Structure 1
């Protein structure tokens, strides 16, 4: 029989051990920020040598079709606001640190089961730091989130790439963020248009002779576009993959929007007008192929080098008849397909925020970010590695080809740049343009 005093002493020891462990765990969580390298992170995922700044900007795309307020098949015209976040190589003042707090929300607007809840998380950037102009100009990267999402959805990537000498701008797509989620037609019509508009705004500011902070910082002749899910749907169109007449027909049966989407269809004689400044495309889990958004002719319009990323269990965009079918059909592009085996759709976002772990929340708050079979931090590091290689080749003329010239199945042999035994569960395909 255990004496009561001995039991209480043992109980106190257990409680003390738990408190110490919990304190250590919290300290580790505070020191590890989104995008930091895990012990098995591949070589090119390491943060670059540039200190980075971050700023918020507001743009207005005037004279756009307001498809959500159409009447009798006529779209009213409105000025479309777009908030963006810009990360850039910076010159930090003495004593300044790369530390920033991002203000975000969980939940979805107008969803009573998932009400909007403010959250914050930290990043490695300096708010409103002075730009570093002595080493510029730097290639421009435009980043588009999914439906729903925000400009802060992939800070692990935007910060990392900026530290390697890029100006990175991520868009809050109006009607498509956590805070203002609206009916889907607005996202279908506006995603590609938003990307093109922000790209041009950033390029123009970079060339301007006034004293805006981007002046002289942006290399507008070397641009990459990056999109996730509906962002992938958008960047592929901007890069030349015209939408199908089936998508146009879908809008024709609605109250409006058909003219606006028809401008982006492959059958439009004025499409495609691919911006020659776009030298590289990254499409994470692009949505639409299973819904008839593209046909064979539309996919032939994609000629810009493209890096696709997918999970072979994607139940949102689809894999064999979705993402992989886009990769296979884009016969005129030099293209790669990185596949995470047993991953679903979340191959692009930050790890789940700590607030999503609280009991009682809708599980989709966690699964908006998490993968059931993968550590999201591992996926983040692998994405950093491969995008550094791919974008470095096409936008910086870096000799990173060896990191992409690996055997298809990562289980057969350690991939170049990966630590021993760390590159399992992936596949990397590569197809060159059809002669």
Structure 2
């Protein structure tokens, strides 16, 4: 017969083990799988994370335009910032992020809060030293914690990474598409300037002239415009039709002096995951020639949101005035950038799209995450830290022909990596 004291000891051990597993999950988004490529591994620095809010005052409230005339309002933007941190003794590099399923105003997909774990210390003390800045822009719909596998990873390698929660474009406050069309590039530049020039907890840690920008889907639409590519007159007409004649988006179009004046030479490079718009006439040859910054494009060959041959690949080919790369995941669709599906999205009875907001039909999303970490590390290291990663970025186009540099034997299949130089 088992003694009561022995039984209690066993139960306490079990409960303690369960609590330990909950506090420190075995696998967190972004952790390296056994076949992760070389540069996917986290860096040597500890990571802190903090949520801050910026307010961009007196902006055009396009959602409330009447007969083409829009009032002004203040755009409050929550920003999640990851940074190299000096952790105190026993300070855990573990955080729980708040996220939601569903979409505002969609009765079939109600808002359901949930949390997921990350490898960062909430509100930790920043490390000493100065680091390049990366600004991250999510899709429509999305959130500032949509790509924590990448944002944490980059911070561990010596970057300050700021991911914007774009007002009226997140799961929680989804609203009219015209707000995203107008505000996406403006939000990116505003947040960049606030971090580079404002008074905040990282004011002494950010390099003031060494910035990269990363965008996914509508974030890709935004970062390309910030990088010099002007939107087409087709977008201006479409936007005016949506807003009853308001023409405010013309400031972001081809050859507009206001758009030309936006270009900021502190930005050195772009990563564009599945950028939207080419198939919808948002971009054209003249506008794409305005792209002035080295760009790393990532796409799925079966992307049914942004399009591939006439979409992302056409943008890549048309941006002839800069050096650019195109990484293609064969048979992938649009979800080449986000975290993998959280466990809660797999529960029976939930709307299928909650799972397919993150998952890919032909790829393990965790595998895509590791490959993205590898190539984004190589690309940003090249253009922001003057590191030589040419062996990782210029190889045989088809990964099936030989094992790519940095990949384990037999593991680099199903991808293409193309490169085009700036036109002479």
TM over 0.5: yes
Q: For 2:280 and 2:406, locate their aligned partners in 1 and report how far apart those are by CA, in whole Å.
A: 37
Q: Give the structure 1 partner of residue 407 of structure 2.
A: 418
3-state DSSP class of the match of 1:325? helix
Contact persistence 1:242–1:271 (CA under 8 A): yes
1:228 aligns with 2:229: no
1:107 aligns with 2:95: no
Match of 2:176 among 149, 170, 183: 183
Q: Give the structure 2 partner of residue 54 of structure 1.
A: 49
Match of 1:139 among 132, 144, 156: 132
1:264 aligns with 2:259: no
Q: For 1:335 and 1:34, locate their aligned partners in 2 and report how far apart those are by CA, in whole Å.
A: 28
Count of matched residue pairs? 404
Kindly provide the CA deviation profile for residues 96-137 of structure 1, in whole angstroms up to 9, marking residues without a partner as x.
11000001101111111111111100000000000001xx21
Q: Give the structure 2 partner of residue 124 of structure 1.
A: 119
Match of 2:300 among 311, 315, 331: 311
Match of 1:252 among 230, 234, 240: 240
Match of 2:393 among 392, 400, 404: 404
Q: Give the structure 1 partner of residue 229 of structure 2.
A: 241
Q: Give the structure 2 partner of residue 17 of structure 1.
A: none
Match of 2:70 among 63, 67, 75: 75
Query: Following superposition of structure 1 onto structure 2, how do residues 360-399 of structure 1 map, counting pairs within 5 Å?
Result: 360-399=349-388
Q: For 2:149 and 2:240, locate their aligned partners in 1 and report how far apart those are by CA, in whole Å.
A: 40
Q: CA deviation at 1:183?
A: 1.1
**What is the TM-score of this pair, normalised by structure 1?**
0.91
3-state DSSP class of the match of 1:272? helix
Query: Following superposition of structure 1 onto structure 2, how do residues 24-39 of structure 1 map, counting pairs within 5 Å?
Result: 30-39=25-34
3-state DSSP class of the match of 1:182? coil
Match of 2:315 among 326, 336, 339: 326
1:292 aligns with 2:266: no
3-state DSSP class of the match of 1:429? strand
3-state DSSP class of the match of 2:74? strand
1:163 aligns with 2:151: no
Q: For 1:237 and 1:84, locate their aligned partners in 2 and report how far apart those are by CA, in whole Å.
A: 21
Contact persistence 2:178–2:243 (CA under 8 A): no
Give the superposed CA RMSD. 1.4
Q: For 2:246 and 2:29, locate their aligned partners in 1 and report how far apart those are by CA, in whole Å.
A: 40
**What is the TM-score of this pair, normalised by structure 2?**
0.93
Stretches of structure 1 lacking an aligned partner (at least 5 in a row): 1-22
Q: CA deviation at 1:421?
A: 0.3
Q: For 1:215 and 1:34, locate their aligned partners in 2 and report how far apart those are by CA, in whole Å.
A: 29
Distance 1:192 1:256, change over 3 A: farther
Kindly provide the CA deviation profile for residues 267-320 of structure 1, in whole angstroms up to 9, marking residues without a partner as x.
313322311001010000000000010111100000100000000000000000
3-state DSSP class of the match of 2:212? strand
Q: CA deviation at 1:399?
A: 1.4
Q: Give the structure 2 partner of residue 355 of structure 1.
A: 344
3-state DSSP class of the match of 2:394? coil
Q: For 2:420 and 2:175, locate their aligned partners in 1 and report how far apart those are by CA, in whole Å.
A: 38
Contact persistence 1:245–1:267 (CA under 8 A): no
Q: Give the structure 2 partner of residue 149 of structure 1.
A: 142
Q: CA deviation at 1:257?
A: 7.2
Q: Give the structure 2 partner of residue 20 of structure 1.
A: none
Q: For 1:408 and 1:358, locate their aligned partners in 2 and report how far apart those are by CA, in whole Å.
A: 39
Kindly provide the CA deviation profile for residues 337-362 of structure 1, in whole angstroms up to 9, marking residues without a partner as x.
00000000000000001000000111
Q: For 2:211 and 2:249, locate their aligned partners in 1 and report how far apart those are by CA, in whole Å.
A: 24
Q: For 2:266 and 2:343, locate their aligned partners in 1 and report how far apart those are by CA, in whole Å.
A: 39
3-state DSSP class of the match of 1:253? helix
Q: Give the structure 2 partner of residue 94 of structure 1.
A: 89
1:40 aligns with 2:28: no
Q: CA deviation at 1:215?
A: 1.9
Q: For 2:218 and 2:243, locate their aligned partners in 1 and report how far apart those are by CA, in whole Å.
A: 22
* Of 252-261 and 348-357, the range deviating more from structure 2: 252-261
3-state DSSP class of the match of 1:62? strand
* Of 245-254 and 374-383, the range deviating more from structure 2: 245-254
